[in-house]
Each structure stands twice: as C-alpha cells, then as structure tokens.
Amino acid sequence: MTKPLNIGMIGYGFMGRAHSNAYCKVNHFFDLKYRPVLKAVCARNAENAKAFADQWGYESIETDWRKLVERKDIDVIDICTPNNTHAEIALAAAAYKKMILCEKPLAMNGPEGLKMVQAIEKAGVANMVWYNYRRVPAVTLAKNLIDEGKLGRVFHYRAKFLQDWTIKADLPQGGQGLWRIDVAAAGSGVSGDLLAHCIDTALWLNGPIESLSATTETFVKERKHNLTGKVEKVGIDDACMFMCRFANGSLATFESTRYARGHKALNTFEINGENASLSWDLHDLHRLGVYDYKEGEGKLRGWKSVHVTDNSPEHPYMDKWWVPGLQIGYEHSFVHQVADFLTGLASGKPAMPDFRDAYRTQVVLDAIMESAKDGTWKKVAAV
C-alpha cells in the first residue's frame, strides 16, 4: 500500500501543468512508498482554478494561497508562481511545517534565499527546488561518468541558454505571461530565469565556482507595463555572459540571452577533461556527446553520440519507461524529480537540490549581478 501525500499546488501555468503531469504519472512508472494526491490547486481566479482542477483531477480549489498553507489536509506546498512570491509563500508554509517543493530560482536574491533556507531547516521538513534538468537521463549519466572519474582533470566548462522571444521592442512587460520581463516579479532577467538552470547543472557536475566576471545588457530599455499601462524602464538583464573559475581549477564561460534570433531554448553544456569530453543539448536531450581519448587517436577517432535510452543502472531512470531505444522527453525530468523526492522521503536520504543546495546558485547569481554592475571580478562566497 502506498501512503498518500496531499499536494497543494499554487499557480497553474507552465510549471503547474508540468508538475501536475508528474504527480499523475509517477506511481504508474515508479515503485514508491508514497503517492501524490492532487488535493488542491490555488489560483487567484476561482473560475480558472476550477477549470484547471477539473482538467487535472484536483479535489478542491483555493483562491488565496494563505488559506492553502493553513489547511490541515495538505502535506506539501508546491510553489509554481512567479519568483517574487516564492519567499513569502515558503516562509508561511514552513511556519505551518508543510513540506515545500519550490520552483527555481529559489528566491529573488541571496539574502532572501538564505531566509528561506533558515526557515525550512528550522521547520525540519522535506524540501526541494525544481532544477529539473539534473533528471534528464543523459545529464544524470554525465554526472555518473564524472563521479566515476571518466574525465580526469577538468579544464573547461561551457554553457549556453539561448532564446529569442523578447526581441520585439513593442512587447509589453509585466502581468500574466510577461512577468519574466518585469524586474519586480522576476528579480532579474535571463540570469535568474535561464542561467540559473545552467549554474545549478554546473555546480552539480563540476563543483563550486570560486570567482567570476560578468556583463549584462538590456537591449530594449523601456516597455509598456501591463499592470500600470505606462511606459516604464526595463529593469531586467536581456542578456548575460560570465566567465568564471571553478574550485577544481577549470575555466568556464556561460552565456544567456533572449535575443538569439532562431533559438527557442538552446540549453547546452560541454565539459573538457584530460581523458574525455562530454556535451549535451536540450534539443536532443536523450543524447550525450562523449569523446573518449582512451579509445585511441586512430583514424576513427571522434565524438560518440550516446542514445541514453538503454536499461538502468547504466542509463539512469530508463528501465522505468519503455523498451531500450525508445526515448522520453522534457516532461519526464519532472516525473523523475518527484520520484526522487518521494524515494528520499521514504529513505530519509533527501533528494537534491534542497533549498540549501539551490541557495548556492542564488549566491552565484548575486555575484553575477554585482560584477555586471561594476565590471570587476567577484569572489563567490562558499556556502
């Protein structure tokens, strides 16, 4: 018998759908001690909340998240709302000793993130942040290969996350669907939205970042604000690049923009070690590029494209799905994340990234913003 775990989800947009899908699927594919129950969805508009609840099978709705966190029949608060709401909701939920699954980035900035870490650790409840790319099987395989020592000494890490959806100068900022362009709701632009993913993956694969130098640009300086109706200054970074030094001695470059015409979600990394290199691309997410120097330098030398669809444990998570050779997609990374969270809950060995782990990304983001402001190298605090 599985133990029910009552989910109270706040927000029903992109991530609300991705998480709901994961809750619905996870027990069909993974053998787990817990079973998520779609207890309540919260949205400010009752009609929309009801429609979402009907579509996904939520048992009830709330229109004020404060009511949801107080409810005795809710075990887990899932925060799927814009970044400026994460801290307030998490602090309230932690006070009610609810487990919390929070979307990324954890917070608007480091100090806010630290308050969330302290609150959740004081509450002593399970918590996790949805840096889902760790759970793409090819990315998890990269982590396993690195942990096995396949790369040897690492020299370089290179990451990109490119989009093109904000190029139009008359695109407004703020409100439903466009909160990402409003600094008051998002905290930052591509750095917190896109680079946060790249940083989380990099810290996981390559260890801590020691120092960095960053530059940002806001290409469109003013946009009409959907909430005020006025033309207002744009406060987010439209593009951000930084170079850094990792504690393991490797050098790295990171680039993110929403102005790379033709790119919708080009999220990639490449790692170059003394014995091997690895590469990954979200557009081909089931493949891991591997160059293994030890295989020889003969005329057939070259990169391999490993189709990460074989059985576990060699190919992480894949024995839970179809037969070898059949691929899975973006949404499965969320199913894997829920599965790992529930496994961690049952075993007492929490799944990562928890709030503290996600706070490390926040500290890097703060250093990026400070460096971009004054153009100097910044040390990244070890936390």
Ligand X SMILES: NC(=O)c1ccc[n+]([C@@H]2O[C@H](COP(=O)([O-])OP(=O)(O)OC[C@H]3O[C@@H](n4cnc5c(N)ncnc54)[C@H](O)[C@@H]3O)[C@@H](O)[C@H]2O)c1
Residues that bind ligand X (CB under 6 A): 10-16, 42-44, 65, 80-83, 85, 103-104, 130, 132, 177, 193
Cβ proximity to ligand X, 37 vs 68, nearer residue: 68
Cα–Cα distance, 264 to 2 (Å, whole number): 40
**From the CB of 41, what's the least distance to ligand X, in Å?**
9
Cα–Cα distance, 113 to 91 (Å, whole number): 10
Cα–Cα distance, 327 to 324 (Å, whole number): 8
Contact 7, 39 (CB under 8 A): yes
**From the CB of 16, what's the least distance to ligand X, in Å?**
6
Cβ proximity to ligand X, 180 vs 378, nearer residue: 180
Q: Which residue is nearest to ligand X (CB)?
A: 13
Cβ proximity to ligand X, 176 vs 248, nearer residue: 176
DSSP state letters, 154-214: EEEEEEEEE--TT--TT--BSSTTTGGG-HHHHSSSHIIIIIHHHHHHHHHHH--EEEEEE
Cβ proximity to ligand X, 16 vs 289, nearer residue: 16
φ, ψ at 206 (rounded to 5°) = -125, 0
CB-CB neighbours of 167 under 10 Å: 15
Cα–Cα distance, 91 to 355 (Å, whole number): 12
**From the CB of 11, what's the least distance to ligand X, in Å?**
3
Contact 83, 358 (CB under 8 A): no
Cβ proximity to ligand X, 68 vs 151, nearer residue: 68
**From the CB of 191, what's the least distance to ligand X, in Å?**
12
**From the CB of 268, what's the least distance to ligand X, in Å?**
15
